[in-house]
């Protein structure tokens, strides 16, 4: 069983995702970055691109248009300017 961490994806005042995941790949301003369980604390800006969320049921993909990503105490929060959910993959 893989290590997990809690992820919340929020846009404006709406939560789009709230659950435990195994990893994410996010579009940082300087390029894509990956986050696994027990990642070091981090606060960064997000650029436009694809947020890929890996969890046991599969993969979810969101298109992010800017925002912030915070990693703290095995929890990740994505505060996005705008997000389009592009669907779940197998």
Per-residue pLDDT of the chain (90 residues; tens, 9 = 90+): 469 999 999 998 899 999 999 999 999 999 999 999 999 999 999 999 999 999 988 999 999 999 999 999 999 999 999 987 665 554
What is residue 26's predicted lDDT score, i.e. its pLDDT? 98
Q: String of b and e for 51-78 (b: at least 16 CB within 10 Å)?
A: bbbbbeeeebebebebbebebeeeebbb
What the chain holds in terms of domains, given with CATH numbers, is 5-89 (2.60.15.10)
């Amino acid at each position: 069983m893989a290590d997990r961490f809690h992820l919340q994806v929020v846009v404006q005042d709406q939560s789009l995702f709230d659950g435990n995941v195994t990893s994410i790949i996010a579009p940082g301003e300087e390029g894509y970055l990956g986050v696994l369980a027990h990642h070091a604390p981090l606060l960064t800006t997000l650029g436009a691109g694809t947020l890929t969320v890996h969890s046991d049921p599969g993969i979810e993909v969101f298109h992010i248009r800017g925002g912030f990503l915070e990693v703290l105490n095995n929890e990740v929060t994505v505060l996005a300017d705008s997000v389009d959910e592009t669907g779940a993959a197998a």
